[in-house]
Structures are given as C-alpha cells and as structure tokens.
Chain A
Amino acid sequence: MTLDPEYTRYPHRREGYDHDLYQWSNLHARAPVRWPGGKSVAIVLCVSLEYFPILPEDEPFRAPGHMVTPYPDYRHYTVRDYGNRVAVFRLLDAFAKAGVTASFATNAAVAERYPELIDAVKAGGHEIIAHSTDMNGTIASTLSEAEERALIAESLARLEAATGTTPKGWLSIARSQSWRTVDLLKEHGLTYCCDWVNDELPWRFNNGLINLPLSVDLSDRQIVAVQQHSAEAWARMMRDAFAFLAQEAARQSSARLLPMQLTPYIMGQPFRIAALEDLLADLTARSEAWFGSGSAVVESWEAQQ
C-alpha cells in the first residue's frame, strides 16, 4: 500500500514552531531573571492531592496511578486514601520543619471530602491550585468543547466553594491537554498552568496564559513508582539537578527553576519520608535556593518581563 501523498507534504515547515500556541525562545539568550533576594534557583514544591474514585473511567483516558485490579480494587483505592489521611501530614510537617512553602494541586473532590486537610494546607501558608474534579477528570482532544469547558468550570467552582480561595494555577491530570485547554484556562481566569515541560523558566503562551514548567522526569511518581528507584536515589538526582542548575545560573547570570513534584502516598511513606526531610535540610542551607509557590515564582518572573 502506497502512502497518501499528503503524508509527504509539510504545510507547517517554517521558522518557529509547527503550531501557534507559543513562540520559540532560547533559554540562554533571554534577558536575565533573578528571584527575590538575588537567589538563582527557585524550587517549586508541587504536591498532588488526588481522589481516585474506586470506579475508574477510561474516557478520555485512565489517569496514571488509578485503579489496577478488578472491582472492587481495595488495594489501590485505600493506599491512595492513605496519602490523604496520613502521608500528606508527614509532608506538611517536613515543609514546616524546613520552613518552605508549596503549591498543592488539589482535586475539587479532595477539598470537599477532607476540609481538615485543606485547613492544614492553608495554615501552613501553602498555595492551592486547581487539579480537575477528581482523578476521573482527565482531558484530551477527544472531549467535546462543551464537556471540557464544563469540567474546568466545575473544578474551579467546587474548589473555590470548598476552600474559600480562588486558584491562580492549574495542573492537568497527567499534564494532558486538548487543543482548547490553554484558551479555556485563560477564559476561566487562571494565570498559569504547569503542564508543558519544555523549559526551566516560566514562559507565556500567545494568549497570555503563563506556563510554569514542572518536569515529569524528577517526579516521585516517575522515579520511585515507575522506574522503581529508592527515595534516596531520587533525592540524589534532585541534589545533582540543583547543583547543576546553580552552576549554570552562575555561569549564565540568570535564574533557573527546579520543580519537585510530590505524591503523598508515594513520598509520605514512613520508610521514604526521611529522604525528603534530609533533602529539604540540604537545599534550604544552599545560598542559591529560593522555595517559592507556583504563584510566587510566576509573579516574580512576570514582574521582570
């Protein structure tokens, strides 16, 4: 079978990208950025607060971390709930001990179901950003525009009602978007999303929304749950990354961003939590480090553009 002639035509072959979502920009050639206090490496702690209904939905796709065994999958349902009942409080204590603030990407369902948890997050001075309705609320281009608009509106309305705060940031489940998501997030008043992983500084979409790139490579889900490294090995990767970014920031006289994506039921296990505590102790002692919430990093960056 010969391929359709269209397959060897390239209508978007031109300078710049093959889409109009944002502009190409070379990191090392941009105007320098500095974080508050002259710090060079912003560490953004992002904790996912997830509610996995025991009835998973596969449309548009099943979220990473969702149910695995035939119904009723008590094993995966309860260990994820352990994250919201127990493990997340270990993370909150670790942050308090280190004196750092984080952004909590929160399913609306978690905020509704566990108000005491939200109170603890707010009491710690942390930011709450939107993270869909629950872990069945995935986005992809197979959703209709009406469905996607309703999902985003419902996520925000329920989260606001349950937390009393208006989120500025958004993290999609699995960072998965449709072609419309960037416009719909803007339409709903959000300032930034965390889905595109192509950079180590914030940048702006053509429609004005800001992207805060949170690498997937260093998330605890990727390193510990998928690749099956120890928490200590993960922490060593984080130290390697920090050391390199601090060095590059000095060499190029501009700030960088190091994301730290944490999942309570993974990193908050008793045998893993010390690796995080030790890492935070090391990093807070570094003169180059600034721990900022997503909003704080975005605001600092925006003020310098």
Chain B
Amino acid sequence: MQENAADPGLYDYHPYNNRPKIEWPEGKTCAVWVAPNLEYYEIDPPANPHRKAWSKPHPDVVGYSYRDHSNRVSHWRMADAMGRHGFPGSVSLSVALCDHHPEVVADGAARGWEFFSHGIYNTRYSYGMDEAQERAIIEDSIETVQRATGQRIRGWLAPALTHTPRTLDLIAEYGMDFTCDLYHDDQVQEVKVASGQLASIPYSLEVNDHYGFNVYGMSGREYADSLLRQFERLAAEGERSGTVMCIPIHAYLIGQPHRIGPFEEALRRIAADPRCWKARAGEIVDAWRAQV
C-alpha cells in the first residue's frame, strides 16, 4: 500500500456496470462460500496500546464465556447444519485454537474444510507491530495450520481485522494468494502488492452474523431473511458476470438455539437454488484467476 497517501492504492477502480464476464462452473451465477470463524479469545491478554481486548476489567465473564460456547457447544450445531446442505467451510482460524482445543480444528478438517489464518488469537492485534513481529505471526500461522491439518494456508483475515501497512505485501510474499480484509466489491478483484499476486475475495461485514446480531440487533429470522435477499440479488446480477457471496459466521452467535433453525432453513434454500455454486474460498479464487 501507499503509506500515508489518502488513497492507499490497494486496487484499481473497476465500475460494476461494464466488466468482463466471469463464469462459474456449470453455469452457476453466484459462488457462495461459508466462512466460520473458529476463534480463541484469551481471558487475560496483554494490552495493546491501540485497542483494548475487552471492554471490561478482566475477566470479562460474559465476553469470554459467550465465545467459549463455540468450542464447547455450538461449533457442532453450525457444522452439522452446513454439512446437511453441502456447504464446506473456509475457516478463518485463530491458529492457537489448534493448541487449545484440537478437537474443534480436527472436526473441521475431517469435514473437508479449508483453513486460512485469522492470526494467533483474536485478542492479539497487529496494530503497532514491527515487520519482524508481523512476520513471526505469519510464519507461526503457516506452520501451525500445516502441523494441525496438513494444509498450507492460502489466505488471511487479519486478527480482529487489525492491520499494518505491510500486511498485504507480507502475506503475498509468503505465497498466500487471497485476502478477506477488503470490502470494496461483490466480485473477486486484484490487489496491488509488492511481490507475488493477491486476490481480494468478497467477505462481508454487513451479512456477518456479528453485525446482524450485535450491531443491527436482528432476530435469527431477520438475519436468515437478509441472507436470502443477499443471495437472490447476487445470483440475479451474476447472470452478467459471476458474483461472490460470503456468509461469515461465528458458532457462538449462529449456533444459539433460537438462531440455528432459521439459519439452517436459509442454507437449505440457497443450496437448493440452481444458480448457487457451493465452493471453498480457494476454489473461487482459482476459478477467477483462470479467467483473468
């Protein structure tokens, strides 16, 4: 990126109304990927001067135990609902989860899920890191996921969405080929990096369950309805050129008993639509890269 410039210069402007046609396999018009966040939040992390990990003095009992629900209880509900409708996960992983609760990571791997890094912990922020510190996190992520799952990570979602001006260049240098950190488009786009090639795959904050429930205060049914509307519009627009819909979720939110039923019903309806390509993030990037 161009540090200290008004426009960080991450990508070129490509207006949506006149683009080359992207075609997804078998004539599908919308690639749908489900992105479960498998996370570990520390109960008493050291302070980063740029951001507090918890809004309350530690221990933040509700904040911590709310998220702990994922690993004890709701991960399996979420994963079963996805599996019943044929959606694999592309996981943004707090890689320390491989150490804390290896059963959860092994469950995702056994289901054929793809893993990318979401940092070491979601309570360790990149703000203020020097280059050596940031490289250490990237190298730790690559090694830890390789050890736990046999997979070489291809992508990055910054821990708690915290970045440095170097992050995108560094992950491309280490051979990663997609980032989930830019929210400027509904199609895959090229990111300008110092070396290598990096694609920006559409993630979404607006249909992220965290925004749905914690920011917008939706009910489970309202959130499920917003997913269906999002899919319907993107699948229609994808007739012109293939679009991408991401469903970013957290088990501790979507796997709550009052939400998981409506969510599974939304997955069922999206999966049943002939315009839906159920894919992993890496497959979407590959299909796009082969056409540009």
Q: Which of A198, A229, A248, A258 contacts B68 (CB 8 A)?
A: A198
Residues in A neighbouring B259, C-beta threshold 8 A: 240
A-B pairs, 7 with minimum CB distance:
A227-B217, A241-B258, A198-B68, A241-B257, A198-B65, A196-B65, A237-B258
Task: Check if A3 sits within 8 Å of B130, measured CB to CB.
Answer: yes
Q: Which of A1, A176, A244 contacts B49 (CB 8 A)?
A: A1
For window 218-264 of B, CB contacts with A under 8 Å fall at 219-221, 256-262
Task: Check if B66 sits within 8 Å of A142, measured CB to CB.
Answer: no
Binds A, one of B54-62, B202-210, B266-274: B54-62
Instruction: Mark each residue of chain A from 94 to 124: 1 if its CB lies under 8 Å from any CB of chain B, else 0.
Output: 0000000000000000000000000000000
A199 to B66, CA, bound (A): 9
Binding site for A on B (CB under 8 A): 40, 42-44, 46, 48-49, 56-59, 61-62, 65-69, 71-73, 76-77, 96, 99-103, 120-121, 124, 128-130, 133, 136-137, 217, 219-221, 256-262
Task: Check if A8 sits within 8 Å of B44, measured CB to CB.
Answer: no
Task: Check if B258 sits within 8 Å of A18, measured CB to CB.
Answer: no
Task: Check if B258 sits within 8 Å of A217, measured CB to CB.
Answer: yes
Binds B, one of A19-27, A77-85, A264-272: A19-27
Residues in B neighbouring A60, C-beta threshold 8 A: 57
Whose C-beta in chain A lies nearest to the C-beta of B101?
A24
A229 to B137, CA, bound (A): 42
Task: Check if B48 sits within 8 Å of A7, measured CB to CB.
Answer: yes
Asked whether any CB of chain B lies closer than 8 Å to the CB of A12, the reply is yes
Residues in A neighbouring B220, C-beta threshold 8 A: 237, 240
Instruction: Mark each residue of chain A from 244 to 288: 1 if its CB lies under 8 Å from any CB of chain B, else 0.
Output: 110010000000101000000000000000000000000000000
A283 to B97, CA, bound (A): 38
Q: How far is the CB of A260 from chain B (nearest CB, A)?
A: 11
Instruction: Mark each residue of chain A from 147 to 186: 1 if its CB lies under 8 Å from any CB of chain B, else 0.
Output: 0000000000000000000000000101111110000000
Q: A10-B121, A19-B43, A240-B262 are in contact. Are A177 and B72 (CB under 8 A)?
A: no
Whose C-beta in chain A lies nearest to the C-beta of B70?
A198
Q: How far is the CB of B79 from chain A (nearest CB, A)?
A: 11
Task: Check if A15 sits within 8 Å of B102, measured CB to CB.
Answer: yes
Residues in B neighbouring A17, C-beta threshold 8 A: 43, 100
Q: How far is the CB of A151 from chain B (nearest CB, A)?
A: 16
Residues in A neighbouring B73, C-beta threshold 8 A: 27-28, 198-200
Q: Can you offer 5 A-B residue contacts whose CB atoms are under 8 A?
A: A60-B57, A140-B56, A195-B62, A240-B257, A243-B261
Q: How far is the CB of A22 from chain B (nearest CB, A)?
A: 9
Task: Check if B100 sits within 8 Å of A16, measured CB to CB.
Answer: yes
Task: Check if B256 sits within 8 Å of A28, measured CB to CB.
Answer: no
Instruction: Mark each residue of chain A from 195 to 214: 1 if its CB lies under 8 Å from any CB of chain B, else 0.
Output: 11111100000000000010
Residues in B neighbouring A27, C-beta threshold 8 A: 72-73, 76
Q: A218-B258, A258-B257 are in contact. Are A2 and B72 (CB under 8 A)?
A: no
Task: Check if A7 sits within 8 Å of B124, measured CB to CB.
Answer: yes
Q: A27-B73, A142-B57 are in contact. Are A244 and B260 (CB under 8 A)?
A: yes
Task: Check if B96 sits within 8 Å of A3, measured CB to CB.
Answer: no
Q: Which of B46, B72, B128, B136 contacts A24 (CB 8 A)?
A: B72
Q: Which of A7, A13, A229 contacts B99 (CB 8 A)?
A: A13
Task: Check if A18 sits within 8 Å of B69, measured CB to CB.
Answer: no
A248 to B77, CA, bound (A): 9
Instruction: Mark each residue of chain A from 35 to 77: 1 if its CB lies under 8 Å from any CB of chain B, else 0.
Output: 0000000000000000000000000110000000000000000
Residues in A neighbouring B120, C-beta threshold 8 A: 10, 13
Task: Check if A195 sits within 8 Å of B61, measured CB to CB.
Answer: yes
Residues in A neighbouring B260, C-beta threshold 8 A: 244
Whose C-beta in chain B lies nearest to the C-beta of A14?
B99
A277 to B128, CA, bound (A): 54
